[in-house]
Copies of this chain bind each other. A is one copy, B any other.
Amino acid sequence: MNDPFMPRPEHHFTFGLWTVGNPGRDPFGHEVRAPLDPVEAVQRLAELGAYGVSFHDDDLVPYGSSPAEREAVLKRFRRALDATGMKVPMATTNLFSRPIFKEGAFIANDPQVRRFAVKKTCAAIDLGAELGAEVYVMWGGREGVEADAAKDVRTALDRYKEAVDLCCEHIRSRGLNLRIALEPKPNEPRGDMLLPTVGHALAFIGELEWPDMVGLNPEFAHETMSGLSFAHAVGQTMWQGKLFHIDLNAQRIGKYDQDFRFGSEGIRDAFYVVKLLEDARWDGMRHFDAHPYRTEDAAGVWHFARGCMRTYLILADKARRFHDDVEIQEALHVAKADALAEPTRPAGGLEEIRTASFDEAALAAQGYGHERLDQLVTELLLGAR
């Protein structure tokens, strides 16, 4: 068959074990699907054309396993990777499920809880590195507060910085080839979380001991929850050289964290994100952090996974066609899109600007043709051109 949207390993699609393995529990409902063996996840995703998987420490090695159990799990998992050629480009730690973290992990008020979180993270970093991960994602699922009086934000940021610095120190001391990617989120499960957006996390990195070791893992759903443009968020992250990883899924603004199949909501937003990644020839993983609807049985899980990848490929194809479309290119010219690259500073420098005279009326009268341009893009997305 000659399906142009058939996922292949070179597309670099990856999935968290917790995504296809999601049992469908939610705040109001019990599990609807049986636990998925990580080995089966690897095999099925490989068959579908994925490049690799990622995991939280506890997803792969059940919490509290003995060293021997850990080894047995890893051996079996590694065998599945070897058999399929699947990779583990990213790993992460679960610092949110267990009751010890209920008041926070890296920014818990109790110093022992913070140390416990750092220790768990160091072990998870070792686990990730052992399996070849080069990116280590940090999502601070409990790093927030409902009762604001209980936590001073500035001191909490001191502790957040300290914890990330300690993890960097661990990586350096072990000589590992790992970079850290922070994952911002505005709320849920905490009322308000620290580092709520891509912007706050980028700003935070500037304060770290080893800022070069730390970048971002922006997530579509998390920025969208706040009504912010995810494409703009990814754009600024790239502009600051900090796009280390990315989480693709779907979400409606102002709702609970939905983690829907990529492209199922927000087609236009999804397109501009794909276009950004493809135009930049970004060489990272296209990682899906989503889960199947709770209406699905086991078969639906694989439709879900396949759909994420297909929609990406369809949108990537449209991103290519955007550049070949003569009318779109003409409309971009009308919009003066290329002129944005021209420096504002003229040959004569600031003084030339300060003394220039402008034909304000003429400049104000210009039309930029955005209605036409945007309609052309809409029709490209709808397959009507």
Q: Which residues of B contact A265 (CB under 8 A)?
A: 268
Which of B106, B228, B231, B315 lies in contact with A186, CB distance below 8 A?
B228
Contact A311 B382 (CB under 8 A): yes
Measured CB to CB, the nearest residue on chain B to A305 is B371
Query: How many monomers of this chain does the complex have?
Result: 4
Q: A149-B377, A267-B382, A378-B307 in contact; A370/B28 too (CB < 8 A)?
A: no
Complex Cα spacing A240 to B206, Å: 9
User: Could you give, for residues 6-37 of chain A, a 1 whenever the CB lies within 8 Å of some chain B CB and a 0 otherwise?
Assistant: 00000000000000000011111111100000
Q: Which residues of B contact A187 (CB under 8 A)?
A: 227, 252, 255-256
Complex Cα spacing A322 to B148, Å: 13
Q: Which residues of B contact A114 (CB under 8 A)?
A: 344
Q: A366 within 8 Å of B by Cβ? A: yes
Please give the distance in Å from A116's CB to the nearest CB on chain B: 5
A146-184, CB < 8 A from B: 146-159, 162-163, 166, 169-170, 173
Q: A109-B337, A203-B236, A267-B267 in contact; A367/B272 too (CB < 8 A)?
A: no
Please give the distance in Å from A144's CB to the nearest CB on chain B: 9
Q: Which residues of B contact A155 (CB under 8 A)?
A: 340-341
User: Could you give, for residues 106-123 of chain A, a 1 whenever the CB lies within 8 Å of some chain B CB and a 0 otherwise?
Assistant: 110111111110110010
Q: Which residues of B contact A232 (CB under 8 A)?
A: 153, 192, 194, 196
Which of A40-48, A85-93, A97-105 is found at the contact surface with chain B?
Answer: A97-105
Q: Which residues of B contact A51 (CB under 8 A)?
A: none
A45-101, CB < 8 A from B: 96-101
Q: Which residues of B contact A30 (CB under 8 A)?
A: 97-99
Which of B252, B337, B378, B381 lies in contact with A150, CB distance below 8 A?
B337
Which of B100, B163, B253 lies in contact with A252, CB distance below 8 A?
B253
A332-385, CB < 8 A from B: 332, 335-337, 339-346, 350, 353-354, 356, 358, 360, 363-375, 377-379, 381-384
Q: Which residues of B contact A103 (CB under 8 A)?
A: 295, 336, 366, 368
Q: Which residues of B contact A197 (CB under 8 A)?
A: 196-197, 199-200, 226, 228
Complex Cα spacing A103 to B368, Å: 8
Q: Which residues of B contact A239 (CB under 8 A)?
A: 153-154, 157-158, 207
Q: A202 within 8 Å of B by Cβ? A: yes
Chain A interface residue count: which class? 35 or more
Complex Cα spacing A114 to B315, Å: 33
Please give the distance in Å from A108's CB to the nearest CB on chain B: 8
Please give the distance in Å from A201's CB to the nearest CB on chain B: 7
Contact A153 B236 (CB under 8 A): yes
Contact B227 A227 (CB under 8 A): yes
Q: A38 within 8 Å of B by Cβ? A: no
Please give the distance in Å from A271's CB to the nearest CB on chain B: 9
Contact B203 A118 (CB under 8 A): no
Q: A191-B258, A236-B157, A335-B109 in contact; A231/B100 too (CB < 8 A)?
A: no
Complex Cα spacing A107 to B256, Å: 22
Please give the distance in Å from A360's CB to the nearest CB on chain B: 5
Q: Which residues of B contact A370 (CB under 8 A)?
A: 146-147, 150, 293, 295-296, 300
Q: A1 within 8 Å of B by Cβ? A: no
Q: A330 within 8 Å of B by Cβ? A: no
Q: Which residues of B contact A298 (CB under 8 A)?
A: 367
Complex Cα spacing A254 to B224, Å: 11
Ranked 3 nearest A-B pairs via Cβ: A383-B383, A297-B367, A199-B199
Q: Can you pick out 13 interface pairs between chain A and chain B where the beta carbons lie within 8 Å of each other?
A: A29-B98, A103-B366, A116-B356, A119-B356, A146-B370, A149-B337, A154-B235, A159-B344, A163-B344, A200-B203, A253-B253, A256-B257, A267-B381
